[in-house]
């Protein structure tokens, strides 16, 4: 029986990097004798151009019929793209928020791993990364400040903007359970990040997380304030295993963690609901300045495809093959421009995809 995978090529470099991930998935299909069928879906700027909307009901319904969805990046240049002349709820990013909500993708997983081959690209001092690091940030994705009530009004003659940060205990509990389950398969440590010294939402977050922790006695739980966590990520990233946090904090911390790996072009991500369904995408943006130049790094998207095989399709061996192929290509000295260093072989987007596919 065919496995239907949704493909959102997206905007900017999105089509280029998705094509390379598909090339790698096709290699997996040949090796394992599985039948992948692809359903092309519209989202973001490409959807605006085709339909006038960043997300349509058709895309949502088609996505629900897929085993999983692999996505490139969406959006464009906010200064020059006509998409950003539209109201906020009609812009590309509104489509991304909308599909997360429509598919109940409440759990965002962002690994951050330092390859030995890329230690020279890491901006941190060598003594801070001598032993490498391997963490995953588990971010709540459908609640909090980004989904709370917001409005702008004039109060006493002054323009006043209000954004509401709201969490209930059920939203906190389900993402905490996900973090502890992941920690059980790793090094059995969860660092829950909040701002409990200031925010009521964080105090509830901390209380519910402690309740969940009682069901996982083999996992160590520690609490850390978000400002301290931001500092620790650049002082001692090796201390972290699973970082659990709310939507806005996770958005910021995962981007910070990504840059400690040497390039955001290396980082995959997954957004999961309560079933095996997930939407998989690179952590980076659409990079419109290099779109069409065949120089973007496709590895984050390729590794996102590996996460898809692992979390949604129960193809752990195939996922391991992809990760091993990436490691092998890096060990052989091949680099796209963003991770290039002297003595390596510079390759294009399409060449990197082919190299990885050949080693599956």
Q: Which residues are catalytic?
A: 146, 195, 227, 251, 255
Tokens matching residue 353: 């995809």
Longest dimension (CA), the chain: 68
Q: How far apart are CA 42 and CA 54, in angstroms?
A: 8
Tokens matching residue 280: 């998989």
Burial (0-12, 13-18, 19+ Cβ within 10 Å), 330: buried
């Amino acid at each position: 029986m065919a496995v239907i995978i949704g493909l959102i090529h997206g905007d900017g470099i999105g089509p280029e990097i998705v094509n390379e991930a598909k090339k790698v998935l096709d290699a997996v299909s040949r090796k394992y004798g599985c039948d992948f069928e692809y359903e092309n879906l519209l989202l973001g700027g490409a959807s605006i151009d085709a339909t006038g909307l960043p997300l349509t009901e058709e895309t949502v319904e088609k996505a629900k019929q897929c085993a999983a969805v692999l996505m490139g990046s969406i959006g464009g240049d906010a200064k020059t793209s006509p998409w950003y002349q539209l109201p906020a709820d009609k812009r590309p990013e509104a489509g991304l928020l909308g599909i997360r909500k429509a598919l109940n993708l409440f759990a965002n997983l962002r690994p951050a791993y330092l390859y030995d081959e890329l230690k020279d690209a890491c901006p941190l001092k060598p003594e801070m990364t001598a032993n490498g690091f391997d963490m995953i940030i588990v971010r709540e994705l459908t609640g909090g400040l980004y989904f709370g009530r917001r409005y702008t009004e004039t109060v006493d003659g002054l323009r006043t903007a209000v954004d509401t940060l709201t969490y209930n205990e059920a939203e906190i509990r389900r993402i905490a359970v996900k973090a502890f389950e992941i920690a059980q398969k790793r090094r059995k440590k969860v660092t829950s990040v909040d701002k409990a010294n200031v925010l009521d939402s964080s105090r509830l977050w901390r209380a519910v997380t402690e309740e969940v922790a009682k069901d996982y006695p083999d996992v160590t739980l520690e609490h850390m304030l978000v400002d301290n966590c931001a500092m620790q990520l650049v002082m001692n990233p090796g201390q972290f295993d699973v970082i659990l946090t709310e939507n806005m904090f996770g958005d910021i911390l995962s981007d910070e963690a990504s840059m400690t790996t040497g390039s955001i072009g290396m980082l995959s991500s997954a957004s999961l609901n309560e079933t095996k369904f997930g939407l998989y995408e690179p952590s980076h943006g659409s990079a419109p300045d290099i779109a069409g130049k065949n120089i973007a790094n496709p590895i984050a998207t390729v590794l996102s495809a590996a996460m898809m095989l692992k979390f949604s399709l129960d193809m752990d061996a195939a996922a391991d093959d992809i990760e091993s192929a990436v490691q092998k290509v890096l060990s052989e000295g091949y680099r796209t421009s963003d991770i290039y260093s002297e003595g390596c072989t510079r390759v294009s987007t399409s060449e990197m995809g082919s190299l990885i596919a050949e080693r599956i």
